[in-house]
């Protein structure tokens, strides 16, 4: 049995939905279909989820919502009309549903926002189920509640409760129907809608693949493979045929947007292989993500990624390494301001903490600086802004003693000296902090090295 997820670009309009229908028709093992909200149809277009966010904001501000509502419902009407379904009737049903949602009670505005953000998937799952039935495929809309999914945590950063997997395992999967499940959201114990992290339909698909014991999780998007580098920086980069769970997680966290970094965890826990494929070229093999023991790389560098928008806090104090409470005091300040760190490389007398810039807004930065100074009285405390974290990923990094030297030498050829260098004991990645303006040049230089490595391995 396969769980299949289609992203927003795969369901953006009628012709794209028709491709998804034929993909489901082509393989009877595709029994569960997880759908995203309709994405962009063309450059400059809006995603339905973004329009729903604007709609929620307008409701909270007491503004007129007629125009936004018309845009949103128009997207679904046009898809329904493409299949000669009653587009106006469907749009009226969705309008009534959104009005009921608006009149409901919420604990606070974050819950209202989460509820509206989830409706892109809710409405699309209903519509896609109707389309599949119209096209002769037995299909049924199923809610996350019906499947036994229960979440906890913040309303826009939900986490699945572990006992949900017991309920999923006991769910009776019909032999003659395709289940159409809205991605991105579930319900908490109080019955409130909560969404996963952005890109959360990947998470829903992975949860269902694990919970329903799927043989394969197919993730359909708008690219034919995961590539060794960003195609916007490297022209025609090498496609990655196979990569390990660990490599995918490292690359996703480092900036690869093809697959949500959080989504891979349920697949790992359930030992479910993931196949990233292209809705527009479904016969292409795509990229298979599998356990390390099943992936036999001949090359050393699997992929290179960079993520901008980082800031680092540098703290220096003599004899820092002898003070057992020093890290705890700093972490307590971070916890107070709900700021999580990404990495924390250290020396004998210094500590560097890397954050996403989004978390450290100016007011938070000022407050944290004041409290850290008071708590640990550093000799030096300074912020390093405008950082890009460049990450070289590959299981092969542990197998060549000179590879790190080659990577740093390659950066030196383009006059880039990393501000930060970090590698964990797993030796699956090497992370380097560079100025944001140098990120593209670093990727280009390192891709040249990885291409040489790949060609030598063939």
Across the strands, what pairs with 316? Answer: 350, 380
Could you say which of 197, 232, 262 is where a domain stops?
262
Q: 316 in a domain, yes or no?
A: yes
pLDDT at 269: 93
What CA–CA distance (Å, rounded) separates 54 from 381? Answer: 40
Asked if 206 and 313 sit in the same domain, the reply is no
Nearest 5°: CA angle at 288, between 286 and 294?
150
Asked if 206 and 319 sit in the same domain, the reply is no
- In the chain, which stretches have pLDDT less than 50? 458
Asked if 198 and 91 sit in the same domain, the reply is yes
pLDDT at 455: 57
CATH number at residue 329: 3.30.2130.10
pLDDT at 404: 87
Specify the number of domains making up the chain. 2
pTM as predicted: 0.87
- Supply the DSSP symbol for 321: G
Asked if 207 and 58 sit in the same domain, the reply is yes
Burial 401-420 (b: 16+ CB within 10 A, else e): eebeebbeebbeeeebebeb
Nearest 5°: CA angle at 255, between 364 and 228?
160
Provide CB contacts within 8 A for 249, sequence distance 6+: 261, 264, 265, 268
Asked if 25 and 123 sit in the same domain, the reply is yes
Asked if 208 and 309 sit in the same domain, the reply is no
Asked if 329 and 445 sit in the same domain, the reply is yes
What CA–CA distance (Å, rounded) separates 359 from 310? Answer: 9
Helix (H) or strand (E) holding 70: helix 66-82
What CA–CA distance (Å, rounded) separates 202 from 278? Answer: 15
Q: Tell me the C-alpha to C-alpha distance, in Å, between residue 22 and each of 209, 231, 275, 347, 391.
A: 21, 28, 18, 57, 38
CB 84 within 8 A of CB 108: no
Q: 268 in a domain, yes or no?
A: no
Q: 269 in a domain, yes or no?
A: no
pLDDT at 452: 65
pLDDT at 394: 86
Q: 289 in a domain, yes or no?
A: no
**CB neighbourhood size of 113 (10 A):** 21
What CA–CA distance (Å, rounded) separates 274 from 295? Answer: 13
Asked if 419 and 307 sit in the same domain, the reply is yes
Asked if 323 and 207 sit in the same domain, the reply is no
**CB neighbourhood size of 24 (10 A):** 22
Across the strands, what pairs with 429? Answer: 393
CB 181 within 8 A of CB 147: yes
What CA–CA distance (Å, rounded) separates 296 from 294? Answer: 7
Across the strands, what pairs with 220? Answer: 6, 277
CA torsion, ordered 150, 152, 158, 164, to nearest 10 deg: -30
Asked if 30 and 130 sit in the same domain, the reply is yes
Asked if 73 and 199 sit in the same domain, the reply is yes
CB 38 within 8 A of CB 184: no
pLDDT at 457: 52
pLDDT tens track for 291-341: 888 887 767 888 898 889 999 999 998 887 777 888 889 999 999 999 999
Helix (H) or strand (E) holding 294: none
For the chain, counts of helices (H) and of strands (E): 15, 19
Q: 439 in a domain, yes or no?
A: yes
Asked if 193 and 311 sit in the same domain, the reply is no
Burial (0-12, 13-18, 19+ Cβ within 10 Å), 1 = middle
Q: What are phi and psi of 162, to 5 degrees?
A: -55, -35
CATH number at residue 16: 3.40.1160.10
CB 403 within 8 A of CB 396: yes
For the record, the structure tokens of 380 come out as: 């030096």
pLDDT at 325: 83
What CA–CA distance (Å, rounded) separates 445 from 233? Answer: 11
What CA–CA distance (Å, rounded) separates 346 from 363? Answer: 26
For the record, the structure tokens of 376 come out as: 């640990």
Q: Give the domain extent around 72.
A: 2-214+258-262
Could you say which of 262, 286, 321 is where a domain stops?
262
CB 237 within 8 A of CB 231: yes
Q: 288 in a domain, yes or no?
A: no
Q: 200 in a domain, yes or no?
A: yes
For the record, the structure tokens of 66 come out as: 């007629």
Q: 33 in a domain, yes or no?
A: yes
pLDDT at 194: 96
What CA–CA distance (Å, rounded) separates 17 from 20? Answer: 5
What CA–CA distance (Å, rounded) separates 366 from 353? Answer: 16
CB 370 within 8 A of CB 336: no
């Amino acid at each position: 049995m396969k769980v299949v997820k289609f992203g927003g670009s795969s369901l953006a309009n009628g012709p794209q939905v028709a491709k998804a229908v034929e993909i489901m028709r082509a393989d009877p093992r595709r029994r569960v279909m997880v759908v995203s909200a309709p994405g962009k149809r063309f450059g400059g277009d809006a995603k339905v989820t973004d329009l729903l966010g604007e709609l929620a904001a307008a409701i909270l501000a007491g503004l007129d919502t007629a125009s936004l509502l018309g845009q949103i419902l128009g997207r679904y009407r046009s898809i329904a009309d493409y299949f000669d379904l009653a587009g106006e009737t469907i749009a009226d049903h969705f309008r009534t549903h959104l009005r009921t949602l608006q009149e409901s009670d919420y604990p606070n505005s974050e819950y209202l926002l989460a509820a509206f953000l989830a409706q892109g998937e809710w409405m699309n799952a209903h519509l896609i189920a109707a389309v599949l039935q119209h096209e002769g495929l037995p299909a049924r809309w199923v809610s996350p509640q019906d499947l036994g999914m229960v979440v906890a945590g913040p309303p826009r950063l939900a986490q699945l409760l572990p006992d949900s997997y017991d309920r999923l395992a006991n769910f009776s999967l019909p032999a003659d129907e395709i289940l159409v499940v809205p991605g991105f959201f579930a319900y908490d114990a109080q019955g409130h809608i909560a969404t996963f992290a952005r890109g959360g339909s990947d998470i829903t698909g992975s949860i269902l693949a694990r919970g329903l014991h799927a043989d394969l999780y197919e993730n359909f998007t708008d690219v034919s493979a995961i590539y060794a580098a960003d195609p916007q920086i490297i022209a025609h980069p090498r496609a990655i045929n196979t990569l390990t769970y660990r490599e995918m997680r490292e690359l996703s966290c480092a900036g690869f947007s093809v697959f949500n970094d959080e989504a891979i965890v349920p697949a790992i826990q359930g030992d479910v292989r993931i196949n990233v494929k292209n809705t527009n070229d479904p016969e292409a093999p795509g990229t298979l993500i599998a356990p390390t023991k099943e992936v036999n790389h001949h090359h050393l560098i699997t992929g290179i990624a960079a993520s901008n928008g980082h800031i680092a806090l540098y703290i220096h104090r003599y004899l820092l390494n002898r003070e057992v409470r020093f890290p705890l005091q700093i972490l307590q300040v971070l916890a107070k301001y709900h700021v999580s760190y990404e990495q924390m490389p250290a020396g004998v007398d210094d500590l560097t903490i890397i954050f996403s810039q989004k978390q450290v807004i100016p007011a938070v930065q000022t407050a944290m600086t004041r409290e850290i100074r008071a708590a640990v009285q550093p000799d030096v405390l300074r912020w390093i802004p405008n950082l890009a974290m460049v990450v070289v990923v590959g299981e092969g990094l542990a197998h060549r003693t000179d590879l790190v030297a080659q990577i740093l030498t390659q950066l030196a050829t383009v006059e880039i000296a990393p501000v930060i260098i970090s590698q964990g004991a797993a030796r699956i990645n090497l992370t380097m902090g560079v100025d944001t303006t140098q990120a593209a040049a670093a990727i280009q230089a390192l891709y040249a090295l990885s291409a040489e490595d790949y060609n030598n391995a063939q």
